[in-house]
């Protein structure tokens, strides 16, 4: 037993030595851990509301248990099925278009030799990241509203007005391009940081062999960025059912509920709007479980494609 415990004790000592030697770095984790505990772990104790007929006046403990009745109601509700379909379709459109876009922008910016121009473009692309969705909505309503710039040009050319904010297909188009406009800057910085980590000698060897810029990007840059792309994809897939709530809430209106209502806004309306807390919690729990499944699938795919995992 003593022989078996010696390696374990030595590992514990090395770990404690490392932690005490770098305590300043771990001190920065404390605010984040406290926030995660208060706003992520602590509220999980209230998940039991999904299995009860929760009455606020009675409290959680006194409210009667209903088992899986809320989930049976959820899967029998055609509105919920339509909301799930909307959520998957909208978020998959955003994933397909918005995840690779920052990588392409980063590769193009990396090839700019004029540093002032490169920094200016990077700043312009990154600024929308700091806008709230209300500000983004204002910008896009000014552009695509019934009296906006786009419709003014269409009518001036003899065309018919397009109600972008009142027709489901066009509304989804606005969701995708506004998400790309707001989020591309942040993703571009992530990919530019990854590009700077690529060994410059690989590019020098490719130049000596006569590789063009396109060939360098295709055979060097893109393969080296693949782990970062998988990481960004995993993060996006993890929120494929919960993502887009604040964006859709800022953009949508009752005329596009059927094609634009997502799980987040549905839970918001059920929980806050109609005070149906148990039902809203059940839908939210289902949303979280599916998101976890997507993260696990993405992590497995990362291991198969790149040989690396996110955790």
d(CA 39, CA 251): 26
Show me where the domains of the chain are located. 52-306
Beta carbons within 8 Å of 215's beta carbon, 6+ residues apart = 206
| Residues constituting the chain | 311
What pLDDT is attached to residue 111?
82
Number of Cβ within 10 Å of residue 242's Cβ equals 18
Q: What is the pLDDT of residue 146?
A: 84
Q: What is the pLDDT of residue 5?
A: 62
Q: How many angstroms separate the CA atoms of 106 and 88, rounded? A: 27
Answer yes or no: are the C-beta atoms of 234 and 298 closer than 8 Å. Answer: yes
CA distance 83 to 86: 5
DSSP letter string, 145-162: STTSHHHHHHHHTT----
pLDDT given at position 115:
83
Characterise 210 by phi-psi region: left (phi > 0), alpha (psi -120 to 50), beta (else). Answer: left
Residues contacting 216, CB < 8 A, separation 6+:
203, 206, 207
pLDDT of residue 6: 63
Q: How far apart are CA 184 and CA 176, in angstroms?
A: 11
DSSP, res 113? -
43, 79, 86, 119 from 275: Cα distances, Å: 18, 17, 23, 49
The per-residue pLDDT for 310 is 66
Nearest to 270 by CA among 279, 259, 261, 282: 279
The per-residue b/e assignment along 112-121, b for 16 or more CB within 10 angstroms, e otherwise, is eeeeeeeeeb
How confident is the chain (311 residues) per 10-residue block, as mean pLDDT?
A: 61 81 84 88 85 86 88 87 87 86 89 84 88 92 89 89 87 91 89 87 87 86 86 76 80 86 85 84 85 79 71 68
pLDDT at 1: 44
Counting beta carbons within 10 angstroms of the beta carbon of residue 85, is it exposed (0 to 12), middle (13 to 18) or buried (19 or more)? exposed
168 vs 144, 253, 267, CA distance in Å?
A: 14, 11, 20
52-306 CATH, one of 3.40.50.2000, 1.10.3720.10, 1.20.120.160, 3.30.2230.10? 1.10.3720.10
């Amino acid at each position: 037993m003593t022989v078996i415990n010696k390696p374990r004790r030595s590992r514990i000592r090395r770990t404690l030595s490392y932690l005490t030697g770098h305590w300043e770095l771990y001190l920065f984790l404390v605010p984040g851990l406290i926030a995660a505990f208060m706003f992520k772990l602590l509220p999980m104790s209230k998940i039991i509301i999904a299995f009860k007929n929760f009455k606020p006046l009675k409290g959680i403990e006194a409210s009667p248990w209903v088992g899986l009745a809320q989930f049976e109601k959820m899967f029998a509700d055609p509105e919920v099925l339509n909301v799930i379909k909307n959520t998957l379709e909208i978020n998959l459109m955003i994933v397909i278009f918005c995840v690779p876009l920052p990588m392409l922008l980063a590769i193009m910016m990396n090839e700019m030799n004029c540093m002032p121009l490169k920094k200016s473009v990077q700043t312009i692309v990154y600024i929308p990241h700091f806008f709230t969705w209300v500000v983004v909505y204002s910008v896009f309503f000014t552009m695509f509203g019934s009296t906006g710039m786009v419709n003014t040009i269409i009518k001036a050319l003899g065309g018919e007005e397009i109600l972008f904010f009142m027709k489901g297909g066009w509304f989804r188009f606005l969701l995708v391009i506004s998400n790309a406009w707001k989020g591309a800057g942040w993703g571009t910085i992530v990919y530019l940081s990854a590009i700077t980590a690529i060994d410059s000698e690989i590019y020098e060897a490719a130049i000596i062999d006569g590789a063009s810029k396109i060939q360098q990007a295709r055979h060097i840059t893109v393969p080296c960025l693949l782990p970062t792309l998988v990481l960004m994809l995993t993060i996006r897939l993890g929120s494929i059912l919960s993502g887009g709530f604040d964006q859709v809430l800022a953009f949508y209106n009752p005329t596009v509920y059927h094609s634009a209502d997502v799980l987040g806004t549905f839970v918001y309306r059920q929980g806050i709007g109609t005070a149906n807390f148990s039902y809203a919690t059940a839908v939210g729990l289902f949303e979280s479980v599916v998101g976890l499944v997507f993260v696990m699938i993405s992590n497995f795919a990362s291991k198969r494609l790149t040989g690396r995992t996110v955790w």
